[in-house]
Structure 1
Amino acid sequence: MADFVLSTVNRTAVRELSVPIPNVTAFNNLVQSVIDDNPFGCVGYTTSDGEYIEPVVLNREHYTAKVNFIDGDGKRVGTVSLNSPTIAAFEANAAEVMGNAALEAAMGGTALRDLPHETYYAQLRCHDPSGDDYYLTFTRKTLRLSSYQDEAIRDTVETWADAVASLD
């Protein structure tokens, strides 16, 4: 019987944020700044099919809006969670629920956004000059670096994160 032999070592590191990212705009600005500014020195490449891949790309994202329905006594009588594939859909879906009088009547309360419990998720794929791809995943409460092999990658990302006030 053949044994599995370790061929690479992929690591994961997580930074817990002391204060959650306050809103989807701040979240988007942070993620977009990594894509635009490429603070890790990632490099683009061309696939065997001739397709050019940018150094840092948005690999996946999703956002969850939360709306509570509050009755006249201040009691929560209903909740709606809206999972959306993009920020545009997130905002449009939340606005639709907030402006839906029939839904408020059915729930028996007034719609109020539950901003502190909304969630945001964006995963970036970065192509290191060494040829390795790694992932940087943002949520409101964490920053996760995964699938990296070289500790120098973690050091570079950590140095950048230390300089970003919202990532304390």
Structure 2
Amino acid sequence: MADFVQKTVNKTAVRDLAAPIADVTSFDNLVGTVIADNPFGCVGYIGSDGEPVAPVVRNREHYTAKVDFLDGEGKRVGTVSLQSPTIAAFEANASEVLANAALAAAMGGEAVRNGPGETYYAQLRCHDPSGDDYYVTFTRKTVRISSYQDDAIRDAVETWADAVATLN
């Protein structure tokens, strides 16, 4: 019987943020800056389909809007959580629920956006000059580096994050 033989060592590191990222615009700006500025020194390559792939790309993302329904005394009588694939859908879906009078009547309260309860998630795939792909995942409360092998990758991301006030 053959044994499994370890071929790689993939690591994960997480930074918990002192304060959540304030809003979806700030979050999107942060993610967009990483893609545009490529602060980790990633490199583009040719994909298996023969097409060029950028050094840093959005791999996955989703955004969860929260709408609470409050009665006349300010007590929460219901809540709606809407997970959306893009920020545009996130905003459109939240607006739709806020404007839905039939839903508010059924819930028995006024619809109010719960900004602090909302969540954001964006995972970036980065292609290291060594040829390895790794992931930098942003949420409102954390930054995670995963599937990296070389500690120099973690060090590069950490050095960058140390210089970004929102991430300290």
3-state SS of the aligned residue for 2:39? coil
Shift of 1:38: 0.3
* RMSD across aligned positions (CA): 0.7
Instruction: Provide the residue aligned with 2:142 in structure 1.
Output: 142
Letter in 2 for 1:107: M
TM-score between both structures, scaled by the size of structure 2: 0.98
CA distance in 1, matches of 2:120, 2:167: 15
Instruction: Provide the residue aligned with 1:128 in structure 2.
Output: 128
CA distance in 2, matches of 1:58, 1:125: 6
Instruction: Provide the residue aligned with 1:41 in structure 2.
Output: 41
Instruction: Provide the residue aligned with 2:79 in structure 1.
Output: 79
Is 1:117 equivalent to 2:117 in the alignment?
A: yes
3-state SS of the aligned residue for 1:6? coil
TM-score between both structures, scaled by the size of structure 1: 0.98
CA distance in 2, matches of 1:138, 1:76: 30
Superimposed CA distance per residue, residues 73-102 of structure 1 (whole angstroms, 9 cap, x where no aligned partner): 111111000010000000000000011111
Letter in 1 for 2:127: H
**Structure 1 residue ranges, 4+ long, deviating more than 4 angstroms after superposition:** none
CA distance in 2, matches of 1:99, 1:47: 44
Q: Percent identity?
A: 77
Is 1:89 equivalent to 2:89 in the alignment?
A: yes
CA distance in 2, matches of 1:4, 1:123: 30
Letter in 1 for 2:43: V
Is 1:158 equivalent to 2:158 in the alignment?
A: yes
CA distance in 2, matches of 1:73, 1:164: 41
Shift of 1:49: 2.9
Give the unaligned 5+ runs of structure 1.
none
Shift of 1:54: 0.3
